[in-house]
Amino acid sequence: MDRNSIIGIVLIAGIFVVWGIVNKPSEEEIARQKRYNDSIALVQQIELAKAQTELQAIQSETNQKSADTASTTAADSIKYRTITLENDLIRLCLSEQGGRPCSVELKKYHTYDSLPVTLFDSDSSAFELTFYVNNRPTNSGSLYFKANTDAPTVAAEQSEQKIALRYTAGPDKYIEYQYTLAPGKYQVDLNIVFQGMEDLTTQRTGVIDLNWMISSPQQEKGRTNEMQYTSLYYKPFEDDVDFMKARSKKEVQSENLQTRVEWIAYKDQFFSSVLMSKTPFLDANMEMLSKSESSKYLKQFKSVIGLPYQAGAHHEIPMSFFFGPNQYKLLKKEYGDKQLEDLVTVGRNIIKWINQVVVINLFAFLSKFISNYGIIILIMTIIIKLFLLPLTFKSYMSTAKMKVLKPQIDEINKKIPQEKAMERQQATMALYKKVGVSPLGGCLPMLLQMPILFALFRFFPTSIELRQQSFLWATDLSTYDAILEWNAYIPLISNTFGNHISLFTLLMTVSTIISMKFTNQGNMSNQQMPGMQTMMYIMPVMFMFMLNKFSSGLTYYYFLANMITIGQNLLFNQFIDEEALLKKLETRKSKPVKKSKFQQRLELIAKQQGQVSGKKKK
């Protein structure tokens, strides 16, 4: 190994060292995060106690009911009931404290450790309006909302369920939350009704603020990977969907939109909680906080949303929730007019187009006939490789031409000393030009395939169809397939590689090296580009470190693609006669080099300029 190769390896090792040091959280950062969480919890307790005290004062002034009714309300405020609405897809729990959704369970999904998928619970969420009554600040989260009926029975799952939770402020004065859940839907409609609340005022004229907070719990085995897809999404009115950067190093991200907003979504890798309104929200102040590694939550989302409000005898605010999976086909069909399908991370520009038009539709089509997703990925890989076959063949032919010319390149390198690198390069390029070979002939077809590789890189980790689908030794194709795990923290390794070894990632790495060896065998002289071949074999190892935590479905696809490429190259090799190919190239040497129109134009301009210059000298 020459000096350049050694320097390259040392630099790569240095990058990993720096990466591990930078990504390792310091003890001070961990302590600061703990102090922050403790302070938030303390503030919430103080605010709740204050709100309850103010509630008693408000009720004493506005509610002239009997002492028995007042004591009943005080007793109920101590232990609030929860009411359950459920259909065949979700189970929604509503609390009489604040009349808010306090938990949502998705009935057809489970976490990596076989627990029900719960998008949020009562302790990690808030949904409350802030306003003034008789100039006293309060919020709906501290008020008692009594259900107008008992909880629907389980037998009612197949019919539309409705329930109203009402806070009574006096005779014909109330705030009511009307919930509706239809069968076979992930959507929950909410209509907020203000009746006779003339004494209710807001901080901003024509606006009542809604505080919506959720802490997103870890649902998947790979926390690091799940964090990279957990983010806050939103859609400004008549504009494209936007989001906060899930992979940002910032502990807190915020966005203050002083414009109308159609919806706000708190999203993790495979599931989302979305708040939508028939009348766009007036504005929104949003925040995303990353939780520490020790927390059971990934990130905390907060939004202060401006709802249109007109003070008067009667006012209604209709809105709806979506509590469900990030499934592209479902979101496109049900909410395509709102662009909710953009919650599925499939890339941007041409990458997004390839995924939405080709990959997702092909995957859905194969799913109709095949239930094993490992087989589906295999068939999809074969179809894609067949589609790319002309480009693959062109790349192989370019490599074969370079291979048969290698002895002549070696002769040039012997004649011209290594110190004259520019002269060597010019002689080599002159030979390529005579025989009609482009050094980039093998690279360009590969570059044209890159958009498809990047599209699949985006598709597999976010495809909920692969979630908890097993194949061979992989128990879940949406996350890594560990064949060996350990708990100890290893510097430089744990932060990048993880505390496990994924078998499909190893197979992908080995097959990539073999494929590159086939492709580059005889393609260049060892003296022509010192250390380049060694560096090219180091690249797959670097990708192994990057992809070891990724979806096993993705590394399984790359492994299959490599094996098919190796098979194609072996097949091409059987049908290509290298001696005949060399004779064909030698024949081209005797023919004059055909100049391109661009070259001819340049020579004509140079000739004309030379003639004009000669006339001036005379």
Q: How confident is the model at residue 46 (pLDDT cuts 50, 70, 90)?
A: very low
Average confidence score pLDDT of the chain: 78
pLDDT of 614 reads: 52
Q: Per-residue pLDDT tens for 595-617? A: 555 555 655 665 666 555 555 55
How many residues would you count in the chain? 618
Q: How confident is the model at residue 27 (pLDDT cuts 50, 70, 90)?
A: low
**Lowest-pLDDT range, 173-182, 273-282, 330-339, 384-393?**
384-393
- Cα separation, 77 vs 167, in Å, equals 12
Q: Per-residue pLDDT tens for 88-132? A: 999 999 999 999 999 999 999 999 888 999 999 988 899 999 998
DSSP letter string over 330-395?
HHHHHHGGGTGGGGS---SHHHHHIIIIIIHHHHHHHHTT---HHHHHHHHHHHHHHHTHHHHHHH
- Cα separation, 282 vs 297, in Å, equals 30
CB burial of residue 329 (10 Å; 0-12, 13-18, 19+): middle
Using alpha carbons, list the distances in angstroms from residue 156 to 159, 182, 191. 5, 10, 21
Neighbours of 312 (CB within 10 A): 11
pLDDT of 48 reads: 46
Q: How confident is the model at residue 185 (pLDDT cuts 50, 70, 90)?
A: very high
DSSP letter string over 547-591?
HTTS-HHHHHHHHHHHHHHHHHHHHHHHH--HHHHHHHHHHHHHS
Q: How confident is the model at residue 593 (pLDDT cuts 50, 70, 90)?
A: low
pLDDT of 431 reads: 76
Domain ranges, ordered by start, for the chain: 21-345, 352-590
**Lowest-pLDDT range, 354-368, 373-387, 510-524, 533-547?**
510-524
pLDDT at 529 over 60: no
pLDDT at 412 over 60: yes
Question: Contact 86/181 with Cβ under 8 angstroms?
Answer: yes
State the amino acid at position 22 in one-letter form.
V
Output the CATH code of domain 21-345.
Answer: 2.70.98.90
Q: What is the pTM of this model?
A: 0.73
